[in-house]
Chains A and B, each alone.
Chain A
Amino acid sequence: MKKGRFGIYGGQYIPETLMKAVQELEEAYLHFQNDADFQHELADLLKNYASRPSLLYYAEKMTRDLNGAKVYLKREDLNHTGSHKINNVLGQVLLAKRMGKTRVIAETGAGQHGVATATAAALMDLECEIFMGKEDTERQALNVFRMELLGAKVHPVTSGTMVLKDAVNETMREWTSRMDDTLYVLGSVMGPHPYPTMVRDFQKIIGKEIREQLQEKEGKLPDAVVACVGGGSNAMGAFYEFISEPSVQLIGCEAAGLGSDNPKNAATITNGTVGVFHGMKSYFCQDTYGQISPVYSISAGLDYPGIGPEHAQLADNGRAQYVPVTDSEAVCAFEYLSRKEGIIPALESAHAVAYALKLAPAMRKDQILVVNLSGRGDKDVAAVARYKGVELYE
Chain B
Amino acid sequence: MSKVTDAFKKRKAFIPFVTGGDPDISTTEKLIPAMAAAGADLIEIGIPFSDPVAEGIVIQEADERALKNGCTTDKLFDMVKRIREKTDIPLIFMTYYNPVFTYGTQKFMDRCVECGINGLIIPDLPFEEKEELADICQQNDVDLISMIAPTSEERISMIAREAQGFLYCVSSLGVTGVRSQIATDIGRLIKKVKEVTDIPCAIGFGISTPEQAGSMAILSDGAIVGSAIVKLVAKYGSDCIDPVVNFTRDMRRGIEEAA
* B173 interface contact, C-beta 8 A: yes
Q: Tell me whether A19 and B151 are in contact in the complex, defined as CB-CB below 8 angstroms, given that A178-B173, A277-B51, A289-B102 are known contacts.
A: yes
- Chain B residues 167 to 202 lying within 8 A of chain A, measured CB to CB, are 170, 173-175
> A137 → chain B, closest Cβ, in Å?
19
Q: Please report the C-alpha to C-alpha distance between residue A288 and residue B101 in the assembled complex, in whole angstroms.
A: 10
Q: Are B98 and A276 in contact (CB under 8 A)?
A: yes
Q: Which residues of B contact A284 (CB under 8 A)?
A: 98
* B126 interface contact, C-beta 8 A: yes
Q: Please report the C-alpha to C-alpha distance between residue A20 and residue B53 in the assembled complex, in whole angstroms.
A: 17
Q: Which residues of B contact A165 (CB under 8 A)?
A: 51
- Chain B residues 108 to 137 lying within 8 A of chain A, measured CB to CB, are 123-129
Segment from A6-14, A34-42, A370-378 that makes contact with B: A6-14
Chain A, residue nearest B152 (CB): A16
> A182 → chain B, closest Cβ, in Å?
11
For chain A, the bracket of interface size reads 35 or more
* A286 interface contact, C-beta 8 A: yes
Q: Please report the C-alpha to C-alpha distance between residue A208 and residue B2 in the assembled complex, in whole angstroms.
A: 56
> A312 → chain B, closest Cβ, in Å?
14
Instruction: Give which listed residue, A20, A166, A275, A276, contacts B152 with CB less than 8 A.
Output: A20
Q: Please report the C-alpha to C-alpha distance between residue A291 and residue B57 in the assembled complex, in whole angstroms.
A: 18
* A176 interface contact, C-beta 8 A: yes
Q: Are A15 and B126 in contact (CB under 8 A)?
A: yes
- Chain A residues 235 to 280 lying within 8 A of chain B, measured CB to CB, are 273, 275-279
Q: Which residues of B contact A278 (CB under 8 A)?
A: 53
Q: Which residues of B contact A291 (CB under 8 A)?
A: 49-50, 67, 99
Q: Are B57 and A159 in contact (CB under 8 A)?
A: yes
Q: Tell me whether A176 and B173 are in contact in the complex, defined as CB-CB below 8 angstroms, given that A16-B148, A275-B101, A288-B102 are known contacts.
A: yes
Q: Are B101 and A276 in contact (CB under 8 A)?
A: yes
Q: Please report the C-alpha to C-alpha distance between residue A318 and residue B159 in the assembled complex, in whole angstroms.
A: 38
Q: Please report the C-alpha to C-alpha distance between residue A16 and residue B100 in the assembled complex, in whole angstroms.
A: 18
Q: Please report the C-alpha to C-alpha distance between residue A321 and residue B203 in the assembled complex, in whole angstroms.
A: 48
Q: Are A290 and B98 in contact (CB under 8 A)?
A: yes
Q: Are A17 and B97 in contact (CB under 8 A)?
A: no
Instruction: Give which listed residue, B57, B128, B174, contacts A177 with CB less than 8 A.
Output: B174
* A64 interface contact, C-beta 8 A: no
Q: Please report the C-alpha to C-alpha distance between residue A278 and residue B49 in the assembled complex, in whole angstroms.
A: 13
Q: Tell me whether A19 and B60 are in contact in the complex, defined as CB-CB below 8 angstroms, given that A176-B54, A177-B173 are known contacts.
A: no
Q: Please report the C-alpha to C-alpha distance between residue A20 and residue B72 in the assembled complex, in whole angstroms.
A: 33
Q: Are B150 and A17 in contact (CB under 8 A)?
A: yes
Q: Are A173 and B147 in contact (CB under 8 A)?
A: no
Q: Are B126 and A172 in contact (CB under 8 A)?
A: no
- Beyond the given A17-B170, A173-B56, could you list 11 further A-B residue pairs with CB under 8 A, ordered by the A residue number? A12-B128, A13-B97, A15-B123, A16-B155, A19-B155, A160-B64, A165-B51, A176-B173, A176-B175, A284-B98, A290-B98
Q: Which 3 A-B pairs have the closest CB atoms?
A: A290-B102, A177-B174, A17-B149
Report 17 cross-chain contacts, Cβ distance below 8 Å, ordered by A residue: A3-B128, A11-B128, A16-B123, A16-B127, A19-B126, A20-B152, A176-B173, A179-B151, A275-B98, A277-B98, A284-B98, A289-B99, A289-B102, A290-B98, A291-B67, A292-B50, A292-B98
**Contact residues of B with A, CB < 8 Å?**
49-51, 53-54, 56-57, 60, 64, 67, 72-74, 96-103, 123-129, 146-153, 155, 159, 170, 173-175
